Amino acid sequence: MRFDASDIDSDFRHRLREWISDNLVPDWRTRFSDEIENVEFQRSWDVALFKGGWAGMWWPEEFGGVRATAAQRAVYEEEMATAGAPPGLARAGRRLLGPAIMRYGTSEQKGTLLPPILSGETIWCQGFSEPEAGSDLANLSTHAVVDGDGYLVSGQKTWTSLAHYSDMCFALVRTEPGSVGRNGISMLLIDLSSPGVEVRPILQITGRTDFCEVFFTDVRVPPDAIVGAPGAGWEVAKYLLSHERGAAMIFSHLVRMRGHLDQYLEVALADPEEAPEAAELSVKVFCAALLANKILSSQMNGGEPGTTGSIAKLYWSETWRELGTKAFVASGEQLLVHSRADGTGDDLANLFLESRKNTISAGASEVQRDIVARRVLGLPFQKKG
Amino acid sequence: MLDYGVDEDEQLLIETTRRWCNDLKGSGDRTLAASRLVEVGVLDIRVDQPEGAVQAACVAREVGRSCTPVFVGDWVTARGIIVEFLDVSSSLQPLLEDHLTTALAGIDAAAPRVSIGRVLKSSSNACSAVVAPLGFDAVTHLVAGECGQWSILTEQDVVASESGSFDGRSLLLSWDPSLDETASVDGAKWSLIGLALQTADMVGAAEGAFERTKVYVSERHQFGRPIGSFQALQHRLVDVFVALEAVSAASWFACWVSADESRPLEEREAIVRGIHAYAAQECVKALNECFQFHGGIAMTEELWVHHYLRRVMSAAVTGGRPRQHFRALADYLANGNTLSA
């Protein structure tokens, strides 16, 4: 073990920092506050990342990536968050679908789908959750029937991030009639411009519309628009989601959380009653960073990202929610009154809203606890029925 | 990025210590435990170097995990103080050379014993300390005061010893501070290293208790199924586990930092004290949960869990209560400092 913070990737960090400085419009949030302008800007950022050679951080060289190490990915997340870079729209394609196609896709899919994902030309969204299949994802009921040469898809997805700006959707769909649970599910690739698709943005408490409901009514999908074997969608989804829980991604959240902590400390340290609690919370936030480093080390040595990532996510997301609540209380009742917080800015009101979502998104804390109980601790499980 | 990968030396220390501790099978024989650990080479570790502090923590964690009745942090800290003290001129030097080093380096049953402890309270003409002897018949004591100064007491200095209160780990003794000789060593440095290693021991003990509890809930049946299959318990177990993972990561880091003199002492103190205080709270919570999951049997002498509870609770208040540490950390942060790796 070595904790002298010797950054073996310092060249990488330096190069990235320089590129960001040369390419990022610092006041993009205010300059492109109009929705249409903002979407255009996010798209242009995706393209800039591609041209700068940063889009393939998660991809091997044979598919145009740079085969970055887990530590380099963490550095990437940390630097992007520190600079306040935009998230872009191409993340779901680049980070989730891309790796799944590399593993489960056909040669033709690799040839036709991967290049536009990497370049940011095609924007993808993830159609997994449904109104009756949230944490219990395998309870999904959106279904597809074989109709001549292809499938007809009907059903509803929800919490579909950025669907209203996306071109395509990779969706979990029940393709075997009468199947239940994890069996009989396939991952279909659905063109959102097809007849029968309706996308409705969901207004959030932040005033933003990051998520959507997506309705499918007899939407025609070609027979080759399927990732993996028919009925094997659950396996593909599990692999795909393991990329969502890798240690590297934590580092961008940590940057935001530290910013939140700094603002809380400004208020709390001035109050002798609050100060010891604030110090304790500082240690917890610091521990979240240390735990992320520990898990990153473990993943670099071959640890499985999904399960170890669940440990880290539970800790940092619960800690951040606690921080959000304490910072709110310390700031007083005026924090959200007349606020225009949209959950993306850097003030306390925005950070409070941002801190609420992380124990729910990308696998709720309760689901993460089940994962850790079963796969890490190996606790006995009672079969249903 | 920090490197949590365990290197070959660390792995060897962990495995060897684990083997020695297992061989003892909870015999409670401190002299045997001590001699076994000396064979591991613990006293040769240069604990005032960051790499050495982490190596000592490897041993401390395993000793704590098995609740073996010795305290590695005390030993290596005392050893470090002695080595440093031998470099300075002092009337105690012959005593140290003949006495303490023999006792610490050899753990010879016939050698005079050394104890290490901490001042509990002081008045104008007397001090009282709790000390942890490496053997009950300790005749020389290293005692850390509240300001990080270390005093070296001989038999002649001690005016009262409540040996009747010896509970197998520590006893109270009193002396007239005008008689003692204060070691001109960097007391704050050694106190900090000792505290970080105490944290490592405490986290190891909590992890050991958790591991044993995990086995118990998988085997204990109620309502026709293992109690560990109930989600209500599983989620609580996961919360304990995740918190211990976090304080474990922090504890390794604290040990490194405690001996990393490239950082100012003020920063080292803030990090080590803050982590100790937070780890103490989480470890106590963990033990409370382990206790609870065992039900009524946890209240019996024959079950192992109370040994771990005592060990963790004692470590949790070593060097001050958590709130005192947090208050000191708050002062550090209020001066514009941050906790950073």
- Summarised one tens digit per residue, pLDDT across range A183-214 is 999 999 999 999 999 999 998 887 788 899 99
Query: What single-letter amino acid sits at B122?
Result: S
Separation in Å, CA B309 to CA A284, B51, B67, B166, B177: 23, 30, 10, 18, 34
Per-residue pLDDT at B180: 55
Please tell me which residue of chain B has the smallest CA distance to A301. Answer: B5
ipTM of the complex: 0.88
Nearest CA in chain B to A251: B1
Report yes or no: A327 at the B interface, CB cutoff 8 Å.
no
Q: What is the distance between the alpha carbons of residues B119 and B111, in angstroms, rounded to a whole number?
A: 25
- Residues of A with active-site annotation: 244
CA A58 from chain centre, in angstroms, equals 13
Give rounded-to-5 percent helix, strand, coil for chain B.
60, 15, 30
Model pLDDT, residue A247? 75
CB count within 10 Å of CB B131 equals: 23
- pLDDT, average across residues A356-377: 91
The model's confidence at residue A23, banded by pLDDT at 50, 70 and 90, is very high
Of A7, A75, A294, the CB nearest to B249: A294
Within 8 A of B222 by CB-CB distance, chain A residues are none
Residue A26's Cβ-count burial label (10 Å; 0-12, 13-18, 19+) is exposed
φ, ψ (nearest 5 deg) of residue B143: -130, 125
Give me the pLDDT at residue B89, please.
Answer: 46
Find out whether B234 and A369 touch, Cβ atoms under 8 Å.
yes
Instruction: Please tell me the distance from the alpha carbon of residue B267 to that of residue B328, in angstroms, as a whole number.
Output: 11
**pLDDT at residue A80, rounded to an integer:** 95
Q: How confident is the model at residue A349 (pLDDT cuts 50, 70, 90)?
A: confident
Tens of pLDDT, residue by residue, chain B (341 residues) = 788 999 999 999 999 999 888 887 766 676 677 677 777 778 778 888 999 999 999 999 999 999 987 778 877 887 777 777 666 545 555 555 555 555 555 555 455 566 677 777 776 667 777 776 555 556 677 777 666 667 777 777 776 666 555 555 667 777 776 665 555 566 778 888 989 999 999 999 999 999 999 999 999 999 999 999 999 999 999 999 999 999 999 999 999 999 999 999 999 999 999 999 999 999 999 999 999 999 999 999 899 999 999 999 988 987 778 999 999 999 999 999 999 88
Least confident of A148-162, A343-357, B178-192: B178-192
> What integer pLDDT is reported at residue A343 of this predicted model?
54
The secondary structure element, H or E, covering residue B138 is strand B138-144
pLDDT at A316 over 70: yes
Contact of A380 with chain B, judged by CB distance below 8 Å, is answered with yes
Judge contact between B271 and A289, C-beta under 8 A: no
Q: Does A281 touch chain B (CB under 8 A)?
A: no
What's the mean pLDDT in A363-375?
92
Give the nearest chain B residue to A76 (CA atoms). Answer: B1
For residue B231, the chain A residues in CB contact (below 8 A) are: 370, 373
pLDDT computed for residue B7 by the predictor: 93
Mean pLDDT of chain A, nearest integer: 89
List helix spans (H) across chain A: 10-23, 28-31, 35-51, 70-83, 91, 98-104, 107-119, 233-242, 250-268, 275-300, 305-331, 348-357, 365-371
Among A121, A25, A18, A23, smallest CA distance to A64 is for A121
A373·B237 Cβ contact <8 A? yes
What are residue B132's DSSP bridge partners? B116
Q: Is A27 on the interface with B (CB under 8 A)?
A: no
A190 phi/psi in degrees, rounded to 5: -110, 130
The residue whose two tokens read 């803030």 is B270
B238–chain A nearest CA distance, Å: 6
B61 neighbors B200 (Cβ within 8 angstroms): yes
Of B4, B225, B274, the CB nearest to A297: B4
Given a contact cutoff of 8 angstroms between Cβ atoms, the answer to whether B42 and B72 are in contact is yes
Bridge partners of A226? A188
B174, β-bridge pairs: B128, B160
B161/B166 Cα distance (integer angstroms):
10
A176-185 pLDDT per residue, tens: 988 988 999 9
pLDDT at B35: 72
Strand partners, B173: B129, B161
> Which pLDDT score, from 0 to 100, does residue A188 have?
97
The whole model's pTM is what?
0.88
Q: What percent of chain A has pLDDT over 90?
A: 66
Cβ-contact B141, B150 below 8 angstroms: no
Under 8 Å between Cβ of B172 and B129: yes
b/e burial code for range B162-196 (CB count within 10 A of at least 16 → b): eeeeeeebbbbbbbebeebeebebbbbbbbbbbbb
Nearest CA-CA partner of A241 in A172, A178, A316: A172
Residues of A in contact with B6 (CB under 8 A): 1
The encoded tokens of residue A60 equal 């091997």
The answer to whether residue A334 scores a pLDDT higher than 70 is no
d(CA B30, CA A50) in angstroms, rounded, equals 64
Composition of chain A by helix, strand, coil, percent to 5:
50, 15, 35
Pairwise CA distance, residues A245 & A249, whole Å? 7
Query: What does the angle CA A183 – CA A302 – CA A128 come to, to the nearest 5 degrees?
Result: 30
Query: How buried is residue B12: exposed, middle or buried, by Cβ count under 10 Å (0-12/13-18/19+)?
Result: middle
Interface list for A 290-319 with B (CB within 8 A): 290-291, 293-294, 296-298, 300-301, 311, 314-315
Q: What is the CA radius of gyration of chain B?
A: 20
| A58 vs B303 pLDDT, higher one | B303
Distances (CA, A) of B3 to A295, A301, B92, B169: 10, 11, 42, 35
Q: Cα–Cα distance between B191 and B147 in angstroms, integer?
A: 10
Alpha-carbon gap, residue A97 to A103, rounded angstroms: 10
How close is the nearest chain A Cα to the Cα of B275, in Å?
7
Taking only residues 109 to 168 of chain B, the set having a beta carbon closer than 8 angstroms to any beta carbon of chain A reads none
Number of A–B residue contacts, CB under 8 Å: 167
